[in-house]
Amino acid sequence: MNRFLVCLSVVLVSWSAAAQSSAPDPTASTATQQPAVTTTASPEVQQFQKIEDAWSTAVNQHDQYGLENVLSPLFMDVAANGDITTRNQQVVQVITTEDKSLWLSQKVITVRMLGDIAVANGTYMLRHNLNGKPVEEKGVFTHVFERTHGGWMCINSQRTTLRQEMQGKQKKSSTAEEPFHIPFLSRSDKNSQ
């Protein structure tokens, strides 16, 4: 009889352990269960496009509070020209600028969700005056957002301008064999002659 009870208890313990290991952990966060996803047509892209639109509107309307609602107090911006500014410096630039032509437009292309961090990549166009002359700057951005207080705030921004091709100059097409030019490591046109 003792042998029967021991065998029965071993079977029951092993069955309950197997059932517990296959059940999802209710304390595990959903962020760790979902893989990071990059997509161009998702609810996340639409959500972050609204945030980028609010950012652009705040800049275009010189709206201090609108900008403070989008940018984290920890915000750091690396501009296309290499200037590094904080949130407070960005706010001061927006509200004190006398450039009436200042206009920003941003379009989100992809969003990667990494738990309470999101990385948005996209394109932008910035119109402004430089030394009294109108300038239109086009480029790409990477914005890093952090989920705080039920919303998203940008903590880091990096912008890169796109190279402007001179009119009349034909663009050299890339080959699959050499998609990038790294000086001293790739063949040059002079060596192939």
* Domain residue extents for the chain: 38-161
Tokens 């208890």, residue located:
9
Q: How far apart are the first and last CA of the chain?
A: 94
Contact 49, 41 (CB under 8 A): no
Mean pLDDT over 157-182 rounds to 65
**Taking Cα atoms as reference points, which of 64, 7, 63, 43 lies closest to residue 118?**
43
DSSP string for residues in 69-103: HHEEEEEEEE-TTS-EEEHHHHHHHHHH---TT-E
Contact 128, 135 (CB under 8 A): yes
For residue 124, what pLDDT is reported? 97
Contact 44, 118 (CB under 8 A): yes
Specify the range with the lowest mean pLDDT, choosing from 9-23, 41-55, 93-107. 9-23
* Entry pTM: 0.65
Please determine, for residue 30, whether its predicted confidence score (pLDDT) is greater than 60. no
For residue 165, what pLDDT is reported? 62
Query: Cα-Cα-Cα-Cα dihedral of 56, 62, 63, 64, to 10°?
Result: 110
* Rounded alpha-carbon distances, angstroms, from residue 96 to 14, 70, 77: 70, 19, 18
In degrees and rounded to multiples of 5, residue 87 shows phi and psi of: -60, -45
Confidence of residue 59 (pLDDT cuts 50, 70, 90): very high
Mean pLDDT over 151-167 rounds to 87
Q: Domain 38-161 adopts which CATH fold?
A: Nuclear Transport Factor 2; Chain: A, (3.10.450)
- Chain-wide mean pLDDT for the chain? 79
Mean pLDDT over 68-82 rounds to 96
Please determine, for residue 2, whether its predicted confidence score (pLDDT) is greater than 60. no
Mean pLDDT over 7-13 rounds to 50
